[in-house]
């Protein structure tokens, strides 16, 4: 049969229209990623897991590992007792096996960990003073050099702060070598592998108001001010249950990020794996532009260091749990976070001077911010809050307000170039004030 020209034209148009509609359908249907790693990657992040070398021969394990994850942290194989069992005799077999698996499958590696009070070999436990300091620095240098170029992030120092209300360093043989042991470890790591991002990693630092969180925050702030080479902070996030996921977790992540470091969720597991808490953690990371990714501390419940609590995303048979679905859905529905930098680094969109904000003290219901102005003495800085937050007190400036009470114009009053204010959170503990302009004459 021959088709006349007009009929052929109609047919061609119909086929083209069908193809176009199919293409649109395919595009939308193909949007939702079906694995954790792929979905996180779409959001500019990784989704990783702790890996044990002795499980790499278990194909049920590696099937899930290779399908779902694009980042690996060796669970025990890079700890001091594993890598330097006798002083100056290094042993990398299991760590190398994990790194090789990661590289073969395009996964990034987090090195864990170079300096820690726990899991020390006997010889190191028995050292003190200068001998221990030098042994620790030698260990950092040797191990970071061995893995140079293969590690995206190092947990340079792990768990150096005390639990409880002191906010102080943990007592340990390393701490007794002098308070500067942490910065010395970071400097040695930077010298050995200049391309690795260097992190401080700890647990019980998730609740913003806890003394331990504040102690670590002050150390990182001090390191940034003095130029100690620190790039990131890891929040282990071993939660014991839904109630132990703190509602101010996002504030913790964003407050550290505002210091100019990346933040990572490094060892996530939650007792009984409540879907809500896993969803919240995922959303909190997605909401903080400098949160680079999430690592769960094992694949199946049976792989967990606390397997009795079933805290992971896959059950012992490798089936996806409800928490898995919640995390994947949160990753898929997350929007790529706004690229606006945190307060303190925001270039003022208007004006002819510069104002940078520094986070100050935080209480349960309020927090302080100080702002330093450069580029003129007769300045006027506009600060915008997120409702329902409101400023309750100011110092070293003369404020005026718009009718909504959320836009404050602060003018110099002869008290210098730094002013400050207290913000009441009024229930929104995550937002932080933005500087919207700085004008000077
Ligand atoms: O999961 C790890 C477990 O197999 C080890 O026995 C234990 C002691 O080294 O360390 C566990 O991992 C810890 C991590 O290295 C640091 N943060 C706490 C983790 C859980 O204890």
What is the per-residue pLDDT across 164-202, written as a single tens digit (0 to 9) for each?
999 999 999 999 999 999 999 999 999 999 999 999 999
| Per-residue pLDDT, 409 | 96
Query: In angstroms, what is the span from residue 405 Cα to ligand 1's centroid?
Result: 49
Which of ligand 1's atoms lies nearest the C-alpha of 113? 15
267 tagged catalytic: yes
- How many helices (DSSP H) and strands (DSSP E) are in the chain? 12, 17
| Per-residue pLDDT, 18 | 45
Query: In angstroms, what is the span from residue 300 Cα to ligand 1's centroid?
Result: 16
**Which residues in the chain land under pLDDT 50?**
1-6, 10-11, 13-29, 337-348
Residues 6+ apart with CB under 8 A from 83: 77, 90, 91, 92, 95, 139, 143
Query: In angstroms, what is the span from residue 253 Cα to ligand 1's centroid?
Result: 22
Residues 6+ apart with CB under 8 A from 425: 365, 366, 367, 389
List, chain by chain if needed, residues with CB within 6 Å of any ligand 1 atom. Answer: 75-76, 119, 203, 236, 267, 305
The predicted model scores a pTM of: 0.74
Angle, vertex CA 49, rays to CA 48 and CA 53, nearest 5: 130
pLDDT digits (tens, 9 = 90+) for 144-157: 999 999 999 999 99
Roughly how many angstroms between the first and final C-alpha of the chain, as a whole number? 84
| Per-residue pLDDT, 337 | 43
| Per-residue pLDDT, 8 | 52
Q: Cβ atoms within 10 A of the Cβ of 203, count?
A: 18
Tokens 């647990």 correspond to what residue? 203
Catalytic residue among 84, 159, 183, 267: 267
Instruction: Give the three-state DSSP class for 112.
Output: strand
| Per-residue pLDDT, 241 | 66
| Per-residue pLDDT, 431 | 82
């Amino acid at each position: 049969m021959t088709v006349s020209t007009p009929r052929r034209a109609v047919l061609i148009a119909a086929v083209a229209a069908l193809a176009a509609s199919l293409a649109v359908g395919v595009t939308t249907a193909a949007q939702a990623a079906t694995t954790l790693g792929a979905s996180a990657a779409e959001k500019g992040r990784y989704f990783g897991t702790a890996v044990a070398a002795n499980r790499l021969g278990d194909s049920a394990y590696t099937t899930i590992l290779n399908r779902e994850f694009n980042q690996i942290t060796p669970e025990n194989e890079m700890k001091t007792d594993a890598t330097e069992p006798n002083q100056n005799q290094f042993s990398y077999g299991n760590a190398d096996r994990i790194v090789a698996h990661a590289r073969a499958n395009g996964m990034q590696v987090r090195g864990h960990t170079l300096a820690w009070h726990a899991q020390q070999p006997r010889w190191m436990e028995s050292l003190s003073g200068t001998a221990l300091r030098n042994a620790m620095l030698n260990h950092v240098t040797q191990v970071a050099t061995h893995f140079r170029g293969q590690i995206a992030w190092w947990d340079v120092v792990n768990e150096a702060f005390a639990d409880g209300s002191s906010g102080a360093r943990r007592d340990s043989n390393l701490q007794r070598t002098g308070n500067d042991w942490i910065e010395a470890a970071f400097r040695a790591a930077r010298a050995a592998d200049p391309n690795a991002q260097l992190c401080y990693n700890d647990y019980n630092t998730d609740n913003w108001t806890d003394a331990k969180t504040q102690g670590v925050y002050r150390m990182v702030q001090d390191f940034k001010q003095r130029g100690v080479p620190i790039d990131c902070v890891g929040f282990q996030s071993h939660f014991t249950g839904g109630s132990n996921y703190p509602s101010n977790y996002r504030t913790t992540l964003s407050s550290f990020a505002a210091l100019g470091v990346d933040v990572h969720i490094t060892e996530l597991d939650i007792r009984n794996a409540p879907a809500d808490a896993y969803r919240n953690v995922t959303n909190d990371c997605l909401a903080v532009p400098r949160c680079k990714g999430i690592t769960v501390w094992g694949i199946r419940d049976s792989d967990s260091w606390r397997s009795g609590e079933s805290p992971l995303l896959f059950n012992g048979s490798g089936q996806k749990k409800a928490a898995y679905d919640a995390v994947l859905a949160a990753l898929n529905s997350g929007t790529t976070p706004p690229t606006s930098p945190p307060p303190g680094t925001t270039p003022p969109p208007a004006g002819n001077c510069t104002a940078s904000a520094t986070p100050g003290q935080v209480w349960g219901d309020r927090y302080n911010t100080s702002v330093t102005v450069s580029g003129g003495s007769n300045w006027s800085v506009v600060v915008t809050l997120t409702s329902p937050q409101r400023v309750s007190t100011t110092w070293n400036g003369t404020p005026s307000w718009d009718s909504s009470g959320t836009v404050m114009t602060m003018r110099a009053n002869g008290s210098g170039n730094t002013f400050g204010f207290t913000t009441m959170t009024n229930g929104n503990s995550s937002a932080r004030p933005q500087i919207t302009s700085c004008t000077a004459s």
